[in-house]
Amino acid sequence: MLSTSAGAKWKRARNVLVLRVRLSLYIAGNWQDYLKCPTWQPNTSQKDIPMPHPSSNPTQHTALKKWTVRSVVAVLSLVVLAVGGGALYQMSASYLEERNIDLPGSFITVNGHDLYVNCQGPTSKPFILLENGLGVVTENWFWVQDDLSSRYRVCAYDRAGTGNSAAIQGPVDAVVSADELVLLLEKLGVTKPVMVVAHSYGALMARVFAQRHPARVAGLILVDSSHEDMAERFPPVAQEGFEQMLNGFGILETLNNFSGARVMGVASLFSDGLAGAPFDRAYHLYASSHHMSGAALEALGWDRSAAAARAIKTLGDLPMTVMMVDGWDPIMLPSWTQMQKELSTLSSVGRFVVIKEADHFGALNQQQYARQVVREVELLARDIF
């Protein structure tokens, strides 16, 4: 999900880029039309201003045609240079970043592919799992994980195809990811129920996980959770933005081959609030085609994921806290607030908490808001561990 400010930046950048691409493709696809000189039709009502037919001056006609050809060639050359330059910059920047990046986590093979997992904290402590939002990587949990890891065993991971994890074959949705999470916990040697702290789409997936594998879940913290009906319940302008967001990952999958996320500022936007090595690792992933490809697959499975979440009528008395940020556009805030409150009623002991002045990404990326998430985790942990 995108916040108001993030969504506006995304939309502006996307519109500018789409306009440029369309113009380039139109010129490239219709270059022959640019070589045709249409017959001039003079305005006969203005008899005092003679308008000669271009054919009456062959030299002028030839010069105009040459100028048109040169203009088209120049534009196409610029397009080729821009694309080639972007690809070269992407390869060189990515190579240099990889040389300087040390991953704090490790890889665990699940269903024949490697999942990246970053576990911190004593193995003897209660287990907390951090679940990423759609298109988000483990690094965005840095402030939360760093704070909690002195008192808990805290693991963040990248779902298949996203971040540093290898791609999965076939369609991806919340059900697929929830069932794979069970296998990951088995590989990690986790036998006791865990607390799941989840953000955005990850919070929707966490509810599906809790419903399908209740014995695995001790409690839930849902941070600004996606709602299964938000595509229909948002105001019309926000519905359009949500659809663009889902499609945007597929666009970036291609454009990131040519430095798309770097040039458009998307990599910086998703990493904003992080610093040092966590920022560098996150920026590198958001600028990659691999990560956006995995995010695009999850976006394609949105309808299936929403249907799975919609089927959940209750989570019984599962300890659960729903945290909502209030940094949404005033047009969206009423419906978003209502949906978040509804989610808190899925559990008979559910709590509803507002993170004041935070936006959707800032709830994790900005340290002052991440502290509030940590505080709610500790409050719930006292009841379940």
pLDDT tens across 320-335, in order? 999 999 999 999 999 9
pLDDT class of 384 with cuts at 50, 70, 90: very high
**Between β-strands 113-120 and 153-157, what pairing exists: parallel, antiparallel or unpaired?**
antiparallel
CA 355 vs. chain centroid, Å, equals 21
At 364, is the secondary structure helix, strand, or coil? helix
pLDDT higher at 248 or 37: 248
Q: Are 37 and 237 contacting, i.e. CB atoms less than 8 angstroms apart?
A: no
Helix 236-255 with 4-29: angle, nearest 10 deg:
60
Domain boundaries defined on the chain:
106-384
pLDDT at residue 91, rounded to an integer: 78
Q: Are 232 and 340 contacting, i.e. CB atoms less than 8 angstroms apart?
A: no
Q: Are 54 and 60 contacting, i.e. CB atoms less than 8 angstroms apart?
A: yes
Is the pLDDT reported for residue 107 higher than 90? yes
d(CA 172, CA 263): 29
Helix (H) or strand (E) holding 80: helix 58-100
Tell me what the mean pLDDT of segment 130-144 comes to: 98
pLDDT digits 0-9 by tens, 51-91:
555 455 666 666 666 566 566 555 555 555 555 666 777 87
Nearest to 117 by CA among 168, 84, 159, 146: 159
Tell me what the mean pLDDT of segment 36-57 comes to: 47
Tell me what the mean pLDDT of segment 147-159 comes to: 99
Q: Are 266 and 13 contacting, i.e. CB atoms less than 8 angstroms apart?
A: yes
Which of 91-100, 161-170, 366-375 shows the lowest mean pLDDT across its residues?
91-100
- For the entire predicted model, the pTM comes to 0.80
Tell me what the mean pLDDT of segment 283-296 comes to: 96
d(CA 312, CA 328): 26
Sheet containing strand 351-355, edge to edge, reads 106-110, 113-120, 153-157, 127-131, 194-199, 217-223, 320-325, 351-355
pLDDT class of 202 with cuts at 50, 70, 90: very high
pLDDT digits 0-9 by tens, 180-200:
999 999 999 999 999 999 999
DSSP-assigned beta bridge partners for residue 320: 220
d(CA 248, CA 26): 21
Nearest to 339 by CA among 365, 363, 309, 368: 309
Structure tokens at 185: 């916990």
pLDDT class of 99 with cuts at 50, 70, 90: confident
- Amino acid in the structure at residue 261: A
User: Domain 106-384 maps to which CATH number in 3.20.20.110, 3.90.650.10, 3.30.300.20, 3.40.50.1820?
Assistant: 3.40.50.1820
Count Cβ atoms below 10 Å from residue 275 Cβ, excluding itself: 11
Torsion of CA 366, 5, 201, 236, to 10 degrees: 160
- Amino acid in the structure at residue 156: A
